[in-house]
Structure 1
Amino acid sequence: MPSFDSPPASQALVHVSSKMSRGRYHELKGVLTDEMREYVEEKCKLLTKAQRRQLAVNMEDIIFVLLEDISVVFDEHGRKFCFVAIRFWLLSSHEGPDDPEGTKIFKVASSEDGSPQKKLATAVYE
């Protein structure tokens, strides 16, 4: 699937990840459905404060965006939903394992300014 240039999708990732990293889920009203906000808040409760802070993504850390899937779903009430899955490749100083999918595609140079070494990570948002 070809990549696409998606500043609005990247801006949405930065906005939502910033709110999530600060535990400000109520500020996502109108951006996420109520069900999704509750789900995200419940999942993030399992994270430590330090882990939650690492959820924030800066625009300059996004290096590649790929549209993965688009689907239209009808629920039992006749409502129609469009789901879009987008994969972001980003530089992160998170403490998790290396992302094997990303390291096959991109090489990350060592930090020269003494800041923490950044790794390549992927995030898939629906």
Structure 2
Amino acid sequence: MIVKHLDDVIGTAADVDTEGWNSRRLIYKDAGVGYSINDTIIKPGTEHEFEYRNHFETVYCIEGEGEIIDLATGVTHAIRPGTLYCLNQHDRHVLRANKGRHMRMVCVFNPPLTGREVHDQTGAYALAD
């Protein structure tokens, strides 16, 4: 059994902070459960273009508001607490947090992240060896 608290992650190497987002990585590939899970903050007023070509991602919003734009269709979906989106086709998208308040998201990746990934020029994570 693995039991953690967010406080166990904050301030460690598993707490990845950038100008636009902060990802607190709770479960990695080495846990052996077939997925990874992050508690992620999308900083207020920021916009990010991603395409996880090597991973499926499901995201559940627990705080804040923003939107996600499906770049294949141009359709924009509002995000607020209780909204879930699943990138089941490796969907290229723009994620935008409203100004004034962050969005807090629970993110699940399959295959699981190792914790060493960084976004490449396309907004994707490379597949772990």
Q: What is the TM-score with the length of structure 1 in the denominator?
A: 0.31
Q: What TM-score do the two structures reach when normalised by structure 2?
A: 0.31
- Select the structure that is richer in helix: 1
